[in-house]
Amino acid sequence: MVCWILLLINLTSCVCGTFVVNGTQTSYQAEENHNITLEWTFTTNTERPPIPLFIYCELITDHKRSGVYDRYDGVEVSESQDEQFKGRVQCDKDALREGRLRLHVTRLRTEDSGLYRCEVLTNYGGNFGECRLNVIAARVQPKDERQEPPNQGTTTCCCRLAQAVVLLYWSIYLFFL
C-alpha cells in the first residue's frame, strides 16, 4: 500500500511539473477609470480537453488578499469574488480552450494595484502565474480659458449700443429731411 501511495505522489509531481502557467506580461500600468486585460497562458493538452478546469485569481497587497475571479469546473463562482471587483471583471471563455486566461477589468481604481496571482488546475496538472498591476490616479485637466463660452452680457450690451447708435442716426437723418 505504501508503494502505491509513493508511486501516486511521484506520478502527480511529474505531471504537475510539466504544467506551466505564465503571465504574458510581468507588469501592467494603467490609469484610474480606464479598462485593462490581464492575460496568462497555460499548458494545454490537445489529446485531452482541460476538463475539469479550475481557476482562482486573487489580488495580493500588503494589507489583504481579495478574490478577483473564481471558476469551478466550468462555472463562475461569484460568492468568492471580493466586493471591490463585483461587476467589473469578465473572463474570455473562448480563450480558455486555447490555453489563455484573459481577465478584463473595467473602471480601474487605484486600490486595484498589486500582485495578481492566477492558479489553474486541470485534469493533467496545475500551477500558478503572477503579474503586477499599478493603477495611477487620473490626471485632472486644467481649465483652458480659451474654451470657456464668451460672456453673454458683454455681447448683449454691444448689440443694444449698436441699435441705439443706428436709431440715433436715423432720427437725425429724418429730422433734417
Question: Under CATH, what is the fold of the domain 19-136?
Answer: Immunoglobulin-like (2.60.40)
Is residue 15 packed enough to be buried (19+ CB in 10 Å), middle (13-18) or exposed (0-12)?
middle
Quickly state the pLDDT bin for 15 (edges 50, 70, 90).
very low
The one-letter amino acid at 52: P
pTM greater than 0.85 = no
Percent of the chain, pLDDT > 70?
66
Strand ordering across the sheet containing 65-72: 27-31, 125-136, 114-122, 54-60, 65-72, 75-76
Residue entry with cell 462555472: 75
pLDDT tens for each residue of 131-157: 999 999 988 766 665 555 555 555 555
Structural domain spans, the chain? 19-136
Q: Where are the beta strands (DSSP E) in the chain?
A: 21-23, 27-31, 36-42, 54-60, 65-72, 75-76, 89-91, 100-105, 114-122, 125-136
The one-letter amino acid at 134: N
pLDDT tens for each residue of 21-79: 888 889 999 999 999 999 999 887 766 665 788 999 999 999 899 999 999 988 999 89
CA pair distance 83, 102, nearest whole angstrom: 20
Give me the pLDDT at residue 97, please: 82
Q: How many CA atoms lie within 13 Å of 77's alpha carbon, on the beta-carbon side?
A: 13
Quickly state the pLDDT bin for 16 (edges 50, 70, 90).
very low
Percent of the chain, pLDDT > 90?
47
Give me the pLDDT at residue 116, please: 96
- Greatest alpha-carbon pair distance for the chain in Å reads 129
Is residue 93 packed enough to be buried (19+ CB in 10 Å), middle (13-18) or exposed (0-12)?
exposed
